[in-house]
Amino acid sequence: MIPDKQRAFRKTYRSNLVGWYSGYIHLLIIYGIGISLIYFFSSHLENIQWWEWVTVPIVFLLCNIFEWYLHSYVMHRPVNLPGLRAIYERHTMNHHQFFTDSEMRFLNHRDWRVTVFPTYALVVFTLISIPPSFIVGYFLTSNVGWLFIATTISMYLVYEFMHFCCHVDENVFVANCPFVNTLRRHHTAHHNQSMMMSRNMNLTFPITDWLLKTSDLECGLVRHLLNGYSTKFMRDDLPITPKTPAEASSSSYII
Ligand SMILES: [Zn+2]
Ligand SMILES: [Zn+2]
């Protein structure tokens, strides 16, 4: 049963969306700029030593922690700074009203607007990545600096892809692709309004949720990452029994 409030919110949001918006162009711009940046940063790499590659898993983990903090303390908490407040409004006041665990799916590409970050976010993430990559590039080697920033931008593109997969209709790929199916169940549970402030705050791989015990599962890291749609290890102190993606898209039509 889809709540009337969500149905009404979707109707209003769609009617306020400018006529020229295209989700395809939105994604094309983000992935076009993102892939070009990664190509540009990677083109500076030369004679990479084995230990310089260690930058990639370290930055991957740092991005995972950053994503958890950004989602917990900026996307779900109103901060009185104009830019940060806009992120809160976009995520909590729009994205979470548009998608609940009663209806998690896009109707068409124009609904992507309420999920994919605006293009300037990629510019901001790039600017945030420049100082630390410059510092490690200066104090360690230039390869470490270029790998640092190439990894942060890659993780942003991975985030957009994985979050997008959480809001498409059930299909063979999202139901079976490792990591994607895990995040899809993880994120469907997060979209229950009684859980959204405190549970399942990772939006790619639930590593920090496992580490800080904010996941709705109670099991080890490997199981967390490869859980798929399973509900076997669900915590027993949750306010509700989270829906699986299949239950959240059981209706044959999308509102
Ligand atoms: Zn979402
Ligand atoms: Zn959220």
Provide DSSP, the chain: ---HHHHHHHHHHHHHS-TT--HHHHHHHHHHHHHHHHHHHHTT--S--GGGGGHHHHHHHHHHHHHHHHIIIIISS--SSHHHHHHHIIIIIIIHHH-BTTB---SSGGGGGGTSPPHHHHHHHHHHHHHHHHHHHHHS-HHHHHHHHHHHHHHHHHHHHHHHHHTSPP-HHHHHSTTHHHHHHHHHHHTSTTTTTTS---SS-THHHHHTT-SSB-S-HHHHHT-TT--TTB-SS-SS-PPPHHHHT-SSS--
Q: Which ligand is nearest to the CA of 77?
A: 2
Q: Which ligand is nearest to the CA of 95?
A: 1
State the pLDDT at residue 241. Answer: 87
For residue 97, how far is its CA from the centre of ligand 2 (angstroms)?
10
State the pLDDT at residue 1. Answer: 72
Tens digit of each residue's pLDDT (9 = 90 or more) over 232-250: 999 999 988 888 888 887 7
For residue 175, how far is its CA from the centre of ligand 2 (angstroms)?
21
Does 252 have pLDDT greater than 80?
Answer: no
Q: What is the mean pLDDT of residues 62-67?
A: 98
State the pLDDT at residue 82. Answer: 81
Tens digit of each residue's pLDDT (9 = 90 or more) over 167-192: 999 999 999 999 999 999 999 999 99
Does 253 have pLDDT greater than 90?
Answer: no
Range with the lowest mean pLDDT among 77-91, 97-111, 174-188?
77-91
State the pLDDT at residue 242. Answer: 87
For residue 140, how far is its CA from the centre of ligand 2 (angstroms)?
36
Report d(CA 22, CA 235) in Å as an integer: 40
Q: Which ligand is nearest to the CA of 201?
A: 2
Please indicate whether residue 79 or residue 151 has the higher confidence score (pLDDT). 151
For residue 142, how far is its CA from the centre of ligand 2 (angstroms)?
36
State the pLDDT at residue 249. Answer: 74
On the CB side of 200, CA atoms within 13 Å amount to 25
For residue 145, how far is its CA from the centre of ligand 2 (angstroms)?
31
Q: Which ligand is nearest to the CA of 75?
A: 2
- Helices 23-42/142-166 angle, 10° precision: 160
Does 254 have pLDDT greater than 90?
Answer: no
Q: Name the average pLDDT for the chain.
A: 95
- Rounded (10°) CA dihedral 23, 26, 32, 37: -140
Q: Which ligand is nearest to the CA of 93?
A: 2
Report d(CA 223, CA 203) in Å as an integer: 17
Q: Which ligand is nearest to the CA of 71?
A: 2
Tens digit of each residue's pLDDT (9 = 90 or more) over 116-158: 999 999 999 999 999 999 999 999 999 999 999 999 999 999 9
Q: Which ligand is nearest to the CA of 200?
A: 2
Can you tell me which residue has the tokens 């959240």? 248
For residue 72, how far is its CA from the centre of ligand 2 (angstroms)?
8
State the pLDDT at residue 2. Answer: 82
For residue 130, how far is its CA from the centre of ligand 1 (angstroms)?
28
